[in-house]
Amino acid sequence: FQGIFVLGLPYTLLHSGYSGLFLIILAAALCCYTGKILVACLYEENEDGQLIRVRHTYEDIANACCKKLSPKLGGVVVNVTQVMELIMTCILYLVVSGNLLSHSFSYVPGTEKTWSVIAFVTLLPCVFIKTLKIVSKLSQLCSLVHFIIILVVMTYCLTQIHQWSWAKFRLSIDFEEFLVSIGVIIFSYTSQIFLPTLESNMKNPGEFRCMLNWTHFFACVLKTAFALTAFLTWGEETKEVITDNLPSFLQTLVNLCLLTKALLSYPLPFFAATEIVYACLSRGNHSNYRSPLFALGVKGSFLLLTLLMATFIPQFALLMGLTGSVTGAAMSFLLPSLFHLKLKWKKLCFLEKCADISIFILGFLCSLAGIVCSIKGLLEVFG
């Protein structure tokens, strides 16, 4: 939840004002809710009224919803969407790593693409990751580095508390900039892709809902505190990535921490994407598809693909925005609410049905707005 998007939250407050603070809280509540209903779709009641896990993945849920139309259609759509989003996330981390390295070592000759290749070399051991436990250890380290970054930025902001003024908040908003703010805030919370796997790997899956409540609560508190203190410090001068506002002596330290965070963040989406593809390919009876060597080949191919796309795709940020608007909103809002309505309709009360329908409509509008803004940006870039 505390990804690189968090560094853009103070900038969103510049464009969304008081409504941005409300959106940070609302997005936490909505994403927590859709995470719960998505995992609820993995379970069905048996004859004794006990909940039994009858599905294991996002794909299984999709197939259950689309089985009358086509037994495999839902799973194919979900898998393609998941892999697209995960791969684009991996590419983003490589691009960010190259950018941070080039800024941190500007005195060393080399382009951002060269630095991306160097970052890629450090990520080669990812092909040997076999379990989610290793990924979780790396994610723990990633969280630790992130808290160091937040601590440095907020400590500096608190030293400037004498400059703070609530008058810096805007009451009026620019609609197009407000839409961008919504996208940044919502996508800073998205985790639905990982939740079915995460829940199945928990020591006590019964604690899943409690875990989701607390993680979203603390994420919301940290995001609000961070965005608020940073914006009150720099006001109208707040930059897209808040670390660019820091004095030069702190910028180098924070950039190196961000680089470490980006590299430690890479294994999670990479592992998830390769597991999906490998699971799809190994369902056949061919023994070669089940060999460790084949799994290594799949992971190696994906690793190379992320490097090639990070190196050669022009205007990556806009393409990432377009992909995120389609896949992010779909996986976090549209599909969980749709699947929950489809599988649990008879057991849902009126308020639950209204909540699911409202979230579906909200997700559709956010996705549509993001697509329009991204395409507009692409058209402006390419004339």
- pLDDT mean values, one per 10 residues, the chain (383 residues): 73 83 90 94 87 88 86 83 84 83 79 86 89 86 88 92 82 68 75 85 91 94 91 87 84 86 89 84 60 82 88 63 70 90 92 94 81 73 65
Is the Cα dihedral 190, 193, 198, 200 positive or negative?
positive
> Distance of CA 51 to CAs 11, 42, 45, 205, Å?
44, 10, 4, 12
Residue 79 token pair: 């898998």
Q: Which of 363, 7, 24, 11 is nearest to 217 (CA)?
A: 24
> Distance of CA 97 to CAs 113, 201, 320, Å?
10, 30, 16
**pLDDT for residue 218:** 92
Q: Domains of the chain by range and CATH?
A: 5-382 (1.20.1740.10)
Residue with tokens 């436990």: 133
Structure pTM? Answer: 0.81
Q: 3-state DSSP call for residue 181?
A: helix
> Please, are residues 195 and 119 in contact by the beta-carbon 8 Å criterion?
no
Backbone angles phi, psi at 191, to 5 degrees: -150, 5
Q: Which of 157, 223, 150 is nearest to 184 (CA)?
A: 223
Cα separation of 351 and 348, whole Å? 8
Amino acid identity at 324: G
Question: 292, exposed or middle or buried, with CB in 10 Å at 0-12, 13-18, 19+?
Answer: exposed
Cα separation of 189 and 329, whole Å? 11
